[in-house]
Amino acid sequence: MDDDLSRPETVKEQLRSMGHRANKDLGQNFLIDPNTVARIVEVAEVEGRNVVEIGAGTGALTRPLADIARSVVAYEVDASLEAALADTLAGTDNVEVRIDDATTVDLQASLVNGTWAMVANLPYNVGTPILLTALQEAPRIDRFVVLVQREVGDRLLAAPGSRTYGVPSVIAGLHATGHLAFTVSPTVFEPQPNVDSAVVVLDRMEPSPHAAAAVRIAKTAFNQRRKMIRSSLRDLAETAEWIEAAGVDPTTRAEQVSPVQYVDLAASLEAG
Ligand code: SAM
């Protein structure tokens, strides 16, 4: 397959010729802009690396990734795209397409041979849980370069106290350092989404041994985000002393507690 496939009319034509109607429930917004594809691949820095892609679609991103990566494992849940994907990937010998639901896959167990980079135009409906699960449970993936809705990107990268700070920000902050690489307009997709998107880069860091407990505490606190944590975390211990012992103000609220402070809380709770 030649480079023509990344031409907007060619991707559209490919979908049209297969009679494929984008499935909204599967978050199908196909990339039709070669410049955006090229920028994602450039930011991903995957020369010679193993790459896992979630939601390969017709392969608009898979193909250029395969051209520079050592290997690519590409998940796609929609079996009706398999032929188009095979067509796009014709001539490559380093791509394994897995027609499977990535929400049910244990990525840590399914990816072998060293470390991996996740590079994906994520399906908006399941993209966040897939990403957050991989961050927590698949340390083999040490870099994430993901195209997500702008709002999702903001949530992942939000600082404590900001409007968008929440459990995803805590999970991302505990497992990675991140930045927004660039924003993406709806016009680069077919069909066009209603919102802006963004490419977010997360580079894994060694998590605290208390990270899992910290996430559990954050989830509990954010369940009642308007309450002071001495109240929202009341069920975790008899008194609020453990919160003070962690050096955290018990009158603060979930959205003001930093990822590091959630770790301090987890350590204090465990210390009893
Ligand atoms: N990578 C292609 C591109 O950029 O043109 C398609 C991206 S599209 C935003 C998301 C893709 O994820 C769709 O092809 C959709 O079928 C697929 N998808 C949705 N849910 C999935 C799941 N649970 N597991 C694997 N793939 C999924």
78 Cβ below 6 A of ligand 1:
yes
Sign of CA dihedral 56, 60, 63, 65: negative
To which residue do tokens 């505490």 refer? 217
How much is the average pLDDT of 99-126? 97
User: 25, 28, 125: which to mutate for ligand 1, most atoms within 8 A of CB?
Assistant: 28
Whether residues 229 and 265 fall in one domain:
yes
Residue where the block lists tokens 């605290």 = 208
Could you give the 3-state DSSP secondary structure of residue 248? coil
One-letter amino acid of 20: H
Choose one of 204, 220, 252: the last residue of a domain: 204
**Pocket of ligand 1 contains residue 126 by CB under 6 Å:** yes
- Does 224 lie in the same domain as 155? no
Same domain, residue pair 117 and 137: yes
| 189 and 252 inside one domain | no
The answer on 240 and 184 residing in a single domain is no
Cα first-last separation, the chain? 61
CATH code, 253: 1.10.8.100
Distance CA 252, CA 169 (A): 18
76 in contact with ligand 1, CB cutoff 6 A: yes
Lowest mean pLDDT among 17-21, 72-76, 145-149, 158-162: 17-21
Residue labelled with tokens 């944590």: 229
Dist. CA 17 → ligand 1 center (Å): 19
At 106, phi and psi to the nearest 5? -85, 95
What ligand 1 atom has the least distance to the C-alpha of 31?
Answer: 5
| Residue 7 domain boundaries | 3-204
Cα–chain-centroid distance for residue 240?
Answer: 35
User: Between vectors from CA 85 to CA 80 and to CA 91, what angle results, nearest 5°?
Assistant: 150
Which residues does 209 contact at the CB level (< 8 Å), separation at least 6? Answer: none
Least Cα distance to 232 among 210, 253, 246 occurs for 253
CATH number at residue 70: 3.40.50.150
Distance of CA 45 to the CA centre of its chain: 17
* 55 shares its domain with 133: yes
The ligand 1 atom nearest the CA atom of 123: 10
160 pocket-lining for ligand 1 (C-beta < 6 Å): no
Q: Which amino acid is at 15?
A: L
> Could you tell me if 133 and 223 lie in one domain?
no
pLDDT tens per residue, range 46-60: 999 999 999 999 999
* pLDDT mean over 96-119: 97
Nearest by Cα to 58 from 93, 24, 18, 25: 18
Residues 37, 79, single domain; the answer is: yes
In single-letter form, the type of residue at position 159 comes to: A
Phi first, then psi: what are they for 147, rounded to 5°?
A: -95, 115
CB-CB contact of 187 with 165 (8 Å):
no
Token code pair at residue 72: 């690519």
Q: Is 0.85 surpassed by the pTM of this model?
A: yes
Residues 113 and 239 in one domain: no
pLDDT grade, residue 2 (50/70/90)? very low
Last residue of one domain, picked from the residues 189, 204, 219? 204
- CA of 8 from ligand 1 middle (Å) equals 18
Which of 146, 174, 204 is the endpoint of a domain?
Answer: 204
Mutation pick for ligand 1 pocket among 13, 54, 89 (CB with most ligand atoms within 8 Å)? 54
Q: What is the pLDDT of residues 254-267, one digit of tens each?
A: 999 999 999 999 99
Q: Give yes or no: residues 70 and 90 share one domain.
A: yes
Indicate the number of domains in the chain.
Answer: 2
User: Is the minimum distance from the CB of 147 to ligand 1 under 6 angstroms?
Assistant: no
Cβ–ligand 1 distance for 28 under 6 Å, the answer: yes
Ligand 1 atom showing the smallest separation from residue 189 Cα: 5
> What are the tens digits of pLDDT across the range 133-161?
999 999 999 999 999 999 999 999 999 99
The answer to whether 172 touches 205, Cβ cutoff 8 Å, is: no
Residue 164 shares a structural domain with residue 216: no
**The two structure tokens encoding residue 241:** 């002393």
Q: Are residues 15 and 147 in the same domain?
A: yes
